[in-house]
Amino acid sequence: MRTLKLAAAAILGTTALTAPAFAQDIDLPIVDEPLELTIHMHWARAQGYGPGGDTSKIYPVEEVAREKTNIHLIDKTSGRNSTDQSEAMNLLLATGNLPDIVGGAKIKQPVNEFGPQGAFQPLNDLVDEHAPNIKAWFDEHPDIWKAIQAYDGNVYYIPYLPDGKYARAWFVRQDWLDALGLEQPDNVEELYDVLVAFRDNDPNGNGEKDEIPFFVRDWEEVLRLLNLWDARSTGADVYHQFYIKDGKVVHPYAQEAYRDGLANIADWYEEGLIDAEIFTRGSSARDYLLGENLGGMTHDWFASTSGYNIALADKVEGFNFIPFLPPKSVSGNRIEENRRIPMKPDGWAISFSNEHPVETIKYFDYWFSEEGALLANFGVEGKTWDMVDGEPIYKDSVLNSGQPVNSQMYLEGAQVYRGYPQDYRYEWQWTRDSARKGIELYDTHDLLVEQFLGVAFNEDEQTIFDKYYPSIETYMLERQQAWILGTGDVKEDWDDYMAALNKMGYEDVLEDRKSTRLNSSHSLSS
């Protein structure tokens, strides 16, 4: 336990992550007499506000929140038979009878569409006047406040705000490198040489040329190779997004660096350095290719990918799949394009029919106070965690239960998709050693690039975007896949491709959005 705590302190220091700053204590209870507020809470882990969606039970976290605030949330979730949040939201909106609070996953789009039409209450003044902790958080993160605004300039929901820096990393079979007497590749030329050696020199030692040098689970991850030629694959934590280049909003797939990078990816694919089944193998690729001792390198999540060293220790002799630094690009630039998004389209909003907006925003604010944030992140103090020298530390019974800590928290009512600031100290405590070392390695460089969060469209911009963009993206992805598979040549086809994009409205979509008017995450994230 002590070692764990020290390690946590060390990484928090090196990653410059700190516990959230809290504005001030709030007056509790919020109301003198118990006040019931109804809630729609629909997300992946629970369709309804109760453990695993069982609304006949009350979360331990809810019980404590009731004691502290005197506000009782009462489930009134629509679409509980469906796991699809959008379907549940449509059912909810169709009733015309909204509960006091509308929460859960993927609420940003509907709330920002129907808020300006009167279905939800604007939160700007409520936050200013009654929510000092929320206000303090967003005063420190003004870009995120802008990014959650609806097209009328108002904010209609308080988001779930993820914490932590890194998401995916580059991984290589270190034991294969060792077997072939190779070093970790530090630039694009060395990366190429390593992949060729994995293909040709039998690093798995079975006498067959069966290795798959580079593979991915999500096919879009093959596009990270674009970074090696100074091109981008996306501007945010979802794929295929706009990014800011020299102060302008552009799409990565309309840049000359993309043309050159994709030409190289197509070459590598043709040479057998990239999995021939890259577009079809799917989510089992990592399990299968590592488990069968066939895959050499990938780009995937730090924590879960590091788990294979433990899972395969008895199955593949010497198995050692570890993070390595992103190789330098052709111009010497070293970036890790993938990182966590600072705010999610998940959280909660106050419906028009809520007769207690002040009490509700004070309740929302509670989850941004120090006490409320600990409850939202770690569960009930003394039950799942203890404060040890000023740090919230999970009990051994939680860390060693054999169940992932996040799954346990979901049943406690912690890490639920209410609007709250996540605390990375929650995740670090169950991140495995090999991933921790990788994170420390990545922290020795300045690798992460800015994400493009954008700002809200106005109504006209939204109309133009909805009219043109979907078919543009479809076309770009069709051409992209064809070029990688060797149908057509991206360099020869480039002028025709750009002409087609402009004919489809690419320039119209970007018109008058010379800085940050385009909110890619608004309509494109999924």
Judged by beta carbon, residue 33 or residue 208, the one nearer Ca ion is 208
Q: Which of 293, 322, 297 is nearest to 205 (CA)?
A: 293
Judged by beta carbon, residue 155 or residue 212, the one nearer Ca ion is 212
Taking the complex as a whole, the smallest distance from the CB of residue 202 to Ca ion amounts, in Å, to: 4
Taking the complex as a whole, the smallest distance from the CB of residue 292 to Ca ion amounts, in Å, to: 11
3-class DSSP assignment, residue 130? helix
Judged by beta carbon, residue 210 or residue 511, the one nearer Ca ion is 210
Judged by beta carbon, residue 210 or residue 466, the one nearer Ca ion is 210
Tokens of 501: 């994009």
Query: Are residues 198 and 457 in contact, defined by beta-carbon separation less than 8 angstroms?
Result: no
Judged by beta carbon, residue 202 or residue 493, the one nearer Ca ion is 202
- Partners of residue 323 on adjacent β-strands: 171
Q: What one-character-per-residue DSSP string does 72-87 give?
A: EEEE--S-TT---HHH
Helix orientation angle between 357-366 and 132-140, rounded to the nearest 10 degrees: 60
Tokens of 69: 């605030």
Taking the C-alpha atoms of 57, 61, 62 and 68 in order, what is their torsion angle to the nearest 10 degrees? 150
Query: Are residues 357 and 121 in contact, defined by beta-carbon separation less than 8 angstroms?
Result: yes
Query: Are residues 259 and 226 in contact, defined by beta-carbon separation less than 8 angstroms?
Result: no
Taking the complex as a whole, the smallest distance from the CB of residue 442 to Ca ion amounts, in Å, to: 30
Taking the complex as a whole, the smallest distance from the CB of residue 369 to Ca ion amounts, in Å, to: 57
Taking the complex as a whole, the smallest distance from the CB of residue 179 to Ca ion amounts, in Å, to: 11
Taking the complex as a whole, the smallest distance from the CB of residue 318 to Ca ion amounts, in Å, to: 14
Judged by beta carbon, residue 23 or residue 274, the one nearer Ca ion is 274
In the shown chain, the binding pattern of residues 93 to 122 toward Ca ion, with x for contact by CB under 5 A and - for none, equals ------------------------------
Q: Which of 177, 144, 142, 102 is nearest to 347 (CA)?
A: 102
A 10 A CB-CB count for 495 gives 9
**CA 423 to each of CA 16, 168, 367, 427, 506: distance values in angstroms, whole numbers, following the listed order:** 13, 19, 12, 8, 39
Q: Which of 515, 487, 459 is nearest to 150 (CA)?
A: 459
Number of alpha carbons in the 13 Å side-chain half-sphere of residue 497: 23
Q: Which of 479, 473, 502, 477 is nearest to 491 (CA)?
A: 479
3-class DSSP assignment, residue 364? helix
Taking the complex as a whole, the smallest distance from the CB of residue 306 to Ca ion amounts, in Å, to: 24
Query: Under rule CB under 5 A, which residues in 179-208 are in contact with Ca ion?
Result: 202, 204, 206, 208
Whose tokens are 């089944």? That residue is 277
Rg of the chain taking only CA atoms, in angstroms = 24
Taking the complex as a whole, the smallest distance from the CB of residue 209 to Ca ion amounts, in Å, to: 6
Tokens of 174: 């270190």
**CA 84 to each of CA 45, 122, 157, 413, 436: distance values in angstroms, whole numbers, following the listed order:** 11, 26, 20, 20, 34
Taking the complex as a whole, the smallest distance from the CB of residue 504 to Ca ion amounts, in Å, to: 46
- How many residues interact with Ca ion (rule CB under 5 A)? 5
Q: Rounded to whole angstroms, how far apart are CA atoms 388 and 394? A: 10
Judged by beta carbon, residue 95 or residue 206, the one nearer Ca ion is 206
Taking the complex as a whole, the smallest distance from the CB of residue 19 to Ca ion amounts, in Å, to: 48
**CA 354 to each of CA 27, 36, 37, 152, 346: distance values in angstroms, whole numbers, following the listed order:** 22, 11, 8, 21, 20
Report DSSP state, residue 252: G
- Partners of residue 173 on adjacent β-strands: 321
Judged by beta carbon, residue 142 or residue 207, the one nearer Ca ion is 207
Judged by beta carbon, residue 197 or residue 398, the one nearer Ca ion is 197
Binding of residue 495 to Ca ion (CB under 5 A): no
Judged by beta carbon, residue 202 or residue 443, the one nearer Ca ion is 202
In the shown chain, the binding pattern of residues 206 to 235 toward Ca ion, with x for contact by CB under 5 A and - for none, equals x-x-x-------------------------
Judged by beta carbon, residue 173 or residue 436, the one nearer Ca ion is 173
Judged by beta carbon, residue 207 or residue 332, the one nearer Ca ion is 207
A 10 A CB-CB count for 34 gives 11
End-to-end CA distance of the chain: 39
Taking the complex as a whole, the smallest distance from the CB of residue 201 to Ca ion amounts, in Å, to: 9
Taking the complex as a whole, the smallest distance from the CB of residue 193 to Ca ion amounts, in Å, to: 18
Judged by beta carbon, residue 252 or residue 296, the one nearer Ca ion is 296
Residue number of the CB atom closest to Ca ion? 202
Taking the complex as a whole, the smallest distance from the CB of residue 210 to Ca ion amounts, in Å, to: 5
Residues that bind Ca ion (CB under 5 A): 202, 204, 206, 208, 210
